[in-house]
Amino acid sequence: MRVASKGLFIAFEGIDGSGKTVQVHKLTEWIFAHYRRVDTIVVTHEPTDSKFTKEIHERASLKNTDDRSMPKERLLELFVLDRSEHVDNIIIPNLEKKAVVLCDRYKYSTIAYQSAQGVPIAHAISENEEFPTPDLTFIFNVSAEKAVERLQKQGKELDKFIKIPFLEKVKEQYLKLPGLLPKEKIQIINANQTIEQIHDDVKRAVKPLLDEIVK
């Protein structure tokens, strides 16, 4: 796997309903408005539309299956395979072209969600070690209750993966990541705030990185 040395790579992470996708789009608009020398922003997401995605969705949507019988290891493998294609085909080629790459979910989602389902977190981390480290990763930290409230307002069906007890488990795993990955630049954002307050926090963190690449 090639290692990119150009561009800017930012990952957006958090439980379902954390508001991360909104922040990806708000940051895109802000960069284009304030950094005219940035001519390419690639907004991407995981899981992608790769050949592995169908099975990911099939296995992840087993709503009435007990956690103990979930295919945890296969699901982890599928996310890693999907990510490998994503990195090789989208992320690295665009970073090498000096693009800004904004990724809605990345390896941290796999680590948090799969470890919440019972995969040892150290194993989930090791399975993702080969992938490029973002220049900055945001974890949008929101209460599970608020996340569910937002999802209900959006009309989302609350299957087992977006119910409060499970989201609490995932949130706990996310909050462990700065300590478990001390060499990575991970910033936890208070996502219980308003959209604009969250956006302000994101801008403050990203501005020094953008200023550096447009010198």
When pLDDT is cut at 50, 70 and 90, the band that residue 58 belongs to is confident
Mean pLDDT to the nearest integer, 141-164: 82
Q: Number of structural domains, the chain?
A: 1
Residue 204, in any domain of the structure: yes
Residue 1, in any domain of the structure: no
Residue 177, in any domain of the structure: yes
pTM of the model: 0.90
Residue 3, in any domain of the structure: no
pLDDT in tens, 2-12: 444 579 999 99
Residue 22, in any domain of the structure: yes
Residue 16, in any domain of the structure: yes
Residue 112, in any domain of the structure: yes
When pLDDT is cut at 50, 70 and 90, the band that residue 152 belongs to is confident
User: The CATH number of the domain where 44 resides is what?
Assistant: 3.40.50.300
Residue 94, in any domain of the structure: yes
Q: What is the pLDDT of residue 2?
A: 45
| CA dist., res. 137 & res. 168, Å (int) | 20
Q: What is the pLDDT of residue 71?
A: 77
Task: Assign residue 210 a region (left: φ > 0; alpha: ψ between -120 and 50; beta: otherwise).
Answer: alpha
Q: What is the pLDDT of residue 158?
A: 62
**Residue 63 sits in which domain range?**
8-213
Structure tokens at 142: 């929101």
Q: How far is CA 30 from CA 36, 87, 136, 202, in A?
A: 10, 25, 17, 11
Task: Assign residue 58 a region (left: φ > 0; alpha: ψ between -120 and 50; beta: otherwise).
Answer: alpha
